[in-house]
Structure 1
Amino acid sequence: MSVEARSSEGPLVVAIDSSTTSTKAIVVDVEGNVWETAKREIQLHTPAMDEYEHNPIRWWETSRDTIAEVLARLSAADRARVSAIGITQQRESFAPFTADGTPLRNGILWLDGRATDQIRRFGTEHVHELSGKPAGVTPAIYKMTWVSEHEPEVMDKADKIVDVGGYISFQLTGRWATSEASADSLGLFDIEARTWADELLEIAGVRRDQMADLVPPAQPVADLRADLAEAWGLSGSIPVVAGLGDGQAAGIGAAAISPEIAYLNLGTAVNAGVESPTYAYDSGVRTLVSGIPGEYVFEVLQSSGSYLAGWFREALGDPKLLGAPDPALDSAASQIPPGCEGLITLPYWNAVQSPYWNPVARGAVVGWRGTHSRAHMYRSILESIGFEMRANLDSIERRTGVRITTLRAMGGGTRSALWRQIMADTAGLPITTCVQDEISALGAAVLAMAAIGAHGSHDVAASAIAMAHFGQTTEPDAALHEQYRDVAAVQRRLYPQLQDVFEDLHTLSQRYPSTKPQSPTVES
């Protein structure tokens, strides 16, 4: 970034985003210019089918190292301007710890699907209404129940059981605390009262004293530990600010702060959401605590996003690219007509979230002919994600009563012009791309700036508007949108007709389980 793109006045903040694949740290000024970026990968462990874990130590080590790296690049004068640290992280993931921060097992991630039995036993309409979370794969409550039932000694020994942001906050400050807008994704929250719900804690098999303290978003958790401040060359008291989950953070970073503007995150998963001043729950959406104090977010989630496109490239694409983006494949897929000449995909490789919330759903590709190619299947995958998103946006609009007019997009999928156009055409909406790559980290930086009153107040929305930057807009093709509506109508028939088949496949997987050994230990 050029010197001209940096604000010479006002505070700087550091923000981190600890996600499924890596942790990123950025330095940001009051105008939303990102000065420095650092990244560290986090190894994903898969001890058995549908099980996804991290070594929790890596949540902290990658945060520590990326913060140190971006601060080391600043001059002493600029380090003196650093005034706060913000946090965002992957949602729903958790781990048990002793009081000094030692993990007792690997952390279980949001996409982990081991708790199907617990979801079906405890996932009721009442739990949905209380927590805002439909019963499905992602909420941690069901996976905590799984651990309580299968590894009770782990839960008994745990002094704290916290989300990723709570663990990073502890390491930064020494206080076991987390943001309300992070904790609520665990599914243990009375979301209207914004506190832990005793009946949900009981389902999970955990105690209230094992939970982190709760802090409203955009409020200080505590000051940065003195030893870390000294090691990083920071002076004065540096507040660590309560942040929010990465999905809500992306919306804040995109200044999607009103119901007619939705954020669209084309990441590992694909999600979209809008702000709401009032609480509601609905079978088609999940309701989250917003980074704007007192507000909520209505969000839809599709677990198979760029993960699915990457899976295709790795499993069936050019082996020399190891799953990396393939311009030749994109070019070939762009020549395939919309609808892929009768090839339709159900993109439930990682179960289905919105609107069915079925943990045993599976993917399907229907309509194969001998004339279909790899490019047909690849385009069909991208189209299917668009069909699902349009149906999910309909659910949001029914809940809010407000028509969505614009999608503000972020995530790795935005780098594909083909996918951007398919998403615009299937949704029938313009898609404006956010300039900053680390948009969730930018959202955490917005909350940090609001916490210190950097824009003249503690108004998160005002800081979001002041710090947002936008790039090109992809306009939808109205004629193609109508054609896609016809294809989508056929695609929507697949799930109801395959639902019983998915149940049978799940029964078979239980009858003949994987023989790969499982371990509750912490893996490096």
Structure 2
Amino acid sequence: MPDSPLVIGVDSSTTSSKAIIVDETGSVLAQGKAEFELHTPRVDFYEQDPRDWWLSTNSAIAKAVAALSLDDQARITHVCATIQRQTFALVDDDGEPLRPGIIWLDGRAADQVRRFGTEAVHQLTGFQPDVTPSVYKIAWLADHEPEVLRRAAKLVGVHAYLVHAMTGRWVDSAATADSLGLFDMAKLTWSDLMLGHAGLDRAQLPELVPAASVIDVVKREVSQGWGLDQQVSVVASCGDGQAAALGVGAIGPDEAYLNMGTALVAGVHSASYEHADVFRTDAAGIPGQYVLEIVQNSGAYLAGWFREKLGDPVLKGRPDPALEEAASAVAVGCGGLVTLPYWNAVQSPHWNPVAHGAIVGLAGSYGRAELYRSVLEGISIEMARNLAGLQKTTGVPLTTLTAVGGGQRSPLWRGIMADAVGVPLTECPIDEASAMGAAVMAMTATGVHESVQAAAKAMTTQGATTEPDMDNHQIYLELGEIQNTVYQQLEGIFDAQYEFARKHPLN
């Protein structure tokens, strides 16, 4: 309909910001993208310039708007930006960063996890003691950069930083602020106990609003910079994984999403707060609901690492069709070769901040193809174990599993994942599922759809489905038992390696 509203959905992820402009059916009319840098000054340190979050978002939106006709530009009414979670910045009174932002991949806070991480904190915040939640990195700052922490006028995640850039107000969504690890998750608000642990005052934190609610209007100079003359409203968002669930229409407790991106993330919605070892609990883009989320930080990152370090040097880590073909010809299970895919520590189900990767069973007969397949199998078997644990905890069998992210483009990895999990794996036909999830929330705010759930079903479509080979599934169940035993046997070794690395660091 020519007079119906258009909305802007943004995904500000780990290394780029993407913007799409969509109508009420989910049709993408235009899109834009801007990349930014990720810095690794030391082993396990991952940082960014917070100003790049806004510069890339602003640029991506402007590019998308410029691709529309003037008539379509005039139809834009709302914008919503999903973001990389567990990423934060310390800023002064003017909103200028006091130091580089620390992102979710950062693993510097293992000592703080061991000192402060408890089951009581898990039950309160929804997050297991792990290096991913921001609260432990805040504790690291209190130990190593206390003056910067004291000087901070605000401590904000990416969403609050973008909202301030667009509106001039320090406001955050409850479904993005929760990832700092400072929440009473059952109440979806700040926890005085956790603020005390972090040495923070409420005045240093943004105001909270529910997901999918209208925060304010975009400052005129900003919207004009996008090429728009009309008023545009900013809608409170959720994290990128939770937005991806909305972007593929996975809104029920039996409908799982699987993000085969840099990290491997999967989850289902829950109408009530639950906590368990196998998943962390996040606030959902559906107001008042939660997402029970499995997290494996070494996902497509690990496959890309292998291709970059051990693959064809000409491709510089990009997908390698020849390697995929060779790995496809390798026997299922790689003859018992076992990979522990913990290049960025282990999250679900063990939550061990000092564990690292291992490949066990090497022999002279193994080459690149066998090693690459074993890496993909190791990641997939771990996800299969985690999804089984999720279903056992909730008591709800999965009826659908929809894949998003760059990893789903690999036929080899899709097949391995479907076989390992034993559930049909449906592809997402759009590239930007998280941005679509943000658009779902923005379109809900227009009133066109009566709820986030209704918008998600109306605006999303499904792609092709990969059916599991149940004979292969049985092989992966058997290999999974060996993988789990390897972890248990190496757990003490990981502790010893961690202490060794503290005394004799790589750099």
Q: TM-score normalized by structure 1?
A: 0.95
The alpha carbon displacement at 1:9 in A equals 4.7
Q: What's the counterpart of residue 358 of structure 1?
A: 352
Matching residue within 496, 501, 506 for 1:509: 501
Which string of whole-angstrom CA distances, capped at 9 and with x for unpartnered residues, describes residues 296-322 of structure 1?
110000010000000000000000000
By how many angstroms is 1:41 displaced? 1.3
Match of 1:127 in 2: 121
Is residue 16–residue 25 contact of structure 1 (8 Å, CA) maintained in 2? yes
Aligned to 1:480: 472
Give deviations 1:127-148, integer Å, cap 9, x for gaps.
1111111110110000011111
Q: Could you say which residue in structure 1 is the equivalent of 2:363?
A: 369
User: How far is the alpha carbon of 1:236 from its aligned partner?
Assistant: 3.3
Question: How many angstroms apart in 1 are the aligned matches of 2:502 and 2:196?
Answer: 27
Distance (whole Å) between structure 2 residues aligned to residue 315 and residue 513 of structure 1: 21
Deviation at 1:231, TM superposition (A): 2.5
Residue number in structure 1 paired with 2:299: 305
**Alignment partners' CA distance in 1, 2:392 and 2:289:** 18
User: Does 2:377 correspond to 1:383?
Assistant: yes
Q: Say which of 228, 235, 249 aligns to 1:255.
A: 249
State whether structure 2 residue 337 is matched by structure 1 residue 337: no
Alpha-carbon separation, structure 2, partners of 1:24 and 1:233: 17
1:75 aligns with 2:72: no
Query: Which residue of structure 1 lines up, in the alignment, with residue 460 of structure 2?
Result: 468
Q: Does 1:93 align with 2:82?
A: no
Report deviation, 1:100. Answer: 1.6
Aligned equivalents of 1:196, 1:29: Cα separation in 2: 35
Task: Classify the secondary structure of the residue corresponding to 1:244.
Answer: coil
* Residue of structure 2 in register with 1:274 after alignment: 268
Please state how far the C-alpha of 1:232 moved relative to its aligned partner: 2.2
Q: CA deviation at 1:235?
A: 3.5
**Cα deviation code 1:45-87 (max 9, x no counterpart):** 1111100000101001001111111111111110110010011
Who is 1:413 aligned against? 407
- Is contact 2:297-2:346 (8 Å) kept? yes
Provide, for residues 6-62 of structure 1, a one-character-per-residue CA deviation record: whole Å limited to 9, x for no partner: x64521111111111111111111111112121111111111110000010100100
1:481 CA drift (Å) = 0.8
Contact 2:5 2:446 in 1 (8 A): no
Alignment pair present for 1:499 and 2:491: yes
Provide the residue aligned with 2:38 in structure 1.
44
1:181 is matched by which residue type in structure 2? A
* Superimposed CA distance per residue, residues 367-414 of structure 1 (whole angstroms, 9 cap, x where no aligned partner): 111111100000000011111011110121122110012210100001
Q: Equivalent residues in 2 for 1:143-222 (5 A)? A: 143-222=137-216
SS in 2 for 1:407: strand
**Runs of 4+ in structure 1 over 6 Å off:** none
Spell out the pairing of 1:104-119 with structure 2 (5 A cutoff): 104-119=98-113
1:432 maps to: 426
CA distance in 1, matches of 2:170, 2:425: 39
Residue of structure 2 equivalent to 1:227: 221
Q: Deviations over 1:265-309 (max 9, x none)?
A: 000000100011111111111011111111111000001000000
Q: 1:397 maps to which residue?
A: 391
Q: Give the Cα–Cα distance (whole angstroms) in 2 for the partners of residues 423 and 143 of structure 1.
A: 33
1:452 Cα deviation from its structure 2 partner: 1.5
CA distance in 1, matches of 2:263, 2:324: 20
Whole-angstrom distance in 2 between the partners of 1:463 and 1:309: 34
Q: Is the 8 A contact 2:31 2:67 kept in 1?
A: no
- SS across alignment from 1:301: strand
Match for 1:50: what amino acid? D
C-alpha distance in 2, partners of 1:230/1:316?
48
After superposing the two structures, state which structure 1 stretch, 26-35 or 499-508, moved more.
26-35
Q: Distance in 1 between matches of 2:303 and 2:227?
A: 42
Contact 2:175–2:284 (CA under 8 A) maintained in structure 1:
yes
Residue 99 of structure 1 and its aligned partner are, at CA, apart by: 2.0
Q: Give the number of equivalent residue pairs.
A: 507
Percent sequence identity over matched residues?
52
Q: CA deviation at 1:491?
A: 1.1
1:443 maps to 437
1:22 pairs with one of 16, 21, 39: 16
Aligned residue type for 2:213: Q
Helix, strand or coil at the partner of 1:321:
coil
What is the CA–CA distance in structure 2 between the aligned matches of 1:130 and 1:110, rounded to whole Å? Answer: 20
Cα distance in 2 for partners of 1:472, 1:138 equals: 33
Q: Distance in 2 between matches of 1:193 and 1:345?
A: 39
Aligned residue for 2:321? Answer: 327
Change (3 A) 1:440 1:103: same
**Higher mean C-alpha displacement, 177-186 vs 227-236:** 227-236
- CA separation in 2, counterparts of 1:110 and 1:230? 33
- Deviation of 1:205 after TM superposition, in Å, equals 2.1
Q: Deviations over 1:245-276 (max 9, x none)?
A: 00100001111111111000000000100011
**Separation of aligned partners in 2, 1:374 and 1:22:** 30
SS of structure 2 residue aligned to 1:255:
coil
Secondary structure of the 2:332 match is coil
Letter in 2 for 1:41: E
Alignment RMSD (CA, Å):
1.0
Structure 2-normalised TM-score?
Answer: 0.99
2:20 touches 2:32 (CA, 8 Å); kept in 1?
yes
Which has the larger displacement, 482-491 or 59-68? 482-491
Q: Report if the CA contact (8 A) 1:23-1:62 is conserved.
A: yes
Deviation at 1:233, TM superposition (A): 2.9
Q: Deviations over 1:440-472 (max 9, x none)?
A: 0100100011111122x2x00000000011111
Q: Distance in 1 between matches of 2:459 and 2:486?
A: 43
Match of 1:519 in 2: none
User: In the TM superposition, what whole-angstrom CA distance separates every residue of 1:120-168 from its partner, at most 9, and x where no partner exists?
Assistant: 1111111111111111011000001111111111111111100011101
Contact 1:48 1:514 in 2 (8 A): no
Shift in Å at residue 436 of structure 1?
Answer: 1.1
Unmatched tracts of structure 1, length 5 or more: 1-6, 516-524
Letter in 1 for 2:453: A
Counterpart of 1:243 in 2: which secondary structure?
coil
Unpaired runs of 5+ in structure 2? none
In the alignment, is the contact (CA less than 8 A) between 1:68 and 1:232 conserved in 2? yes
Residues 164-185 of structure 1: CA distance to partner in whole angstroms, max 9, x if unpaired? 1110110011111111000101
Q: State the distance in 2 between where 1:454 and 1:61 align.
A: 30
Tell me if the contact between 2:164 and 2:171 (Cα under 8 Å) persists in the aligned partners.
Answer: yes
Aligned counterpart in structure 2 of residue 103 of structure 1, from 77, 94, 97 = 97
Q: How much has 1:111 moved relative to structure 2?
A: 1.0
